[in-house]
Amino acid sequence: MSILSKDRVKKYILPYLSQGKRGRNLTEDKRVSIVLSIFHRLKTGCQWRELPLEKYFKEHYSYESVFYHFNKWSKDGSWERMWSCLLDKYKTYLDLSNIQLDGSQTRANRGGNKVGFQLRKADESTNFLYLSDSQGILIAISEPLSGQHHDLADIKQQFSQMISWLNKANIRTDGLFLNADAGFDSQECRRICTQFQIEANIAFNTRNGSINDRKEYFDELLYENRYVIERAFAWLDAFKALLIRYETTASNWLNLNIIGMIVCFVRKISAKLKC
């Protein structure tokens, strides 16, 4: 079982993964096997020690070595660099007629960095904010935020982090239309959108006063497209390792989510390119 073929791993994944500066470099086949093993962990949610390594390696290889490379590529920014480069290279396949903003909470059963108690889930959790294009392709993710915070917590920094992904991919923000639900209906969130020259189409929150007294424009027809980001979350939920957080370090948890976004993106663009 593999969520990407070997050929696609070689074409879209390997060029962005760092190699050691000293000693013998891994062969291409060995690097492919390591990536496929990481993808197996992503897809099934199994523990690292339970990886069926005999399926991916011709000779003996340890799960510690697979985790070593996942952790190394997380620390040196390989996964993040891969994501921004793929976005930049294939951004013509995105539909930026409007973008969607939403947050997602994940239970964190082992604790760790950026974990807090979320009353709604009655459990420890971690939060991310995401941006997607009009097709539901995720294009940006924030840094992880402790679960006790709501989506608007530290919104300026979180939003700026997502915009930085677009900047790295040379995607302009001026003139973009952004849909967001009523949970993001705040003056600060609207000011941030204005700062980046983004047209905010945010549903009105009745707790902020009577809707009839609001001066901001809200396009209900445009807002209907917000459902695509919920569909994107459903695509990520197909990866069992992302349903419950077991990675204790915030960096590894972020990068595991980025890998999920990369896989979904590669599937989309390779289907369009038919390769």
Q: What does 154-222 look like in DSSP terms, one character per residue? A: THHHHHHHHHHHHHHTT---TT-EEEE-GGG-SHHHHHHHHHTT-EEEEPPPGGGS-GGG--S---HHH
Whether the predicted model's global pTM rises above the 0.75 cut? yes
Q: For residue 170, what is the domain's CATH number?
A: 3.30.420.10
Q: Per residue in 32-70, pLDDT tens?
A: 999 999 999 999 999 999 999 999 999 999 999 999 999
Tell whether 132 is covered by a domain. yes
Range of the domain at 118: 94-247
Q: How many domains does the chain have?
A: 2
Residues 231, 98 within the same domain: yes
pLDDT for position 241: 97
d(CA 85, CA 82): 5
100 or 271: which leads in pLDDT: 100
Residues 72, 40 within the same domain: yes
Average pLDDT over residues 206-221: 86
Average pLDDT over residues 177-190: 96
Residues 222, 106 within the same domain: yes
Q: pLDDT band at 209, cuts 50/70/90?
A: confident
pLDDT for position 148: 85
Q: pLDDT band at 120, cuts 50/70/90?
A: confident
User: Could you give the dihedral angle defined by the CA atoms of residues 4, 84, 258 and 66, in that order, rounded to the nearest 10 degrees?
Assistant: 60
pLDDT for position 110: 87
Asked whether the beta carbons of 101 and 180 are under 8 A apart, the reply is: yes
Q: pLDDT band at 3, cuts 50/70/90?
A: confident
Tell whether 142 is covered by a domain. yes
Percent of the chain that is helix, strand, coil (3-state, to 5):
50, 15, 35
Query: CA angle at residue 237 from 159 to 229, to 5 degrees?
Result: 45
Tell whether 85 is covered by a domain. no
Residues 59, 12 within the same domain: yes
Lowest mean per-residue pLDDT among 6-20, 37-51, 125-139, 202-216: 202-216
pLDDT for position 34: 97
Tokens of 35: 């990536």
Asked whether the beta carbons of 132 and 123 are under 8 A apart, the reply is: no
Q: In the predicted model, is pLDDT for residue 72 greater than 90?
A: yes
Residues 112, 242 within the same domain: yes
Taking alpha carbons only, the member of 162, 223, 216, 153 closest to residue 190 is 216
Residues 203, 142 within the same domain: yes
21 burial type by CB count under 10 A (0-12 exposed, 13-18 middle, 19+ buried): exposed
Q: Which helix (H) or strand (E) holds 260?
A: helix 250-273
Q: Which residues lie closer than 8 Å to 135 by C-beta, 6 or more apart?
A: 94, 95, 228, 268
Q: In the predicted model, is pLDDT for residue 1 greater than 60?
A: no
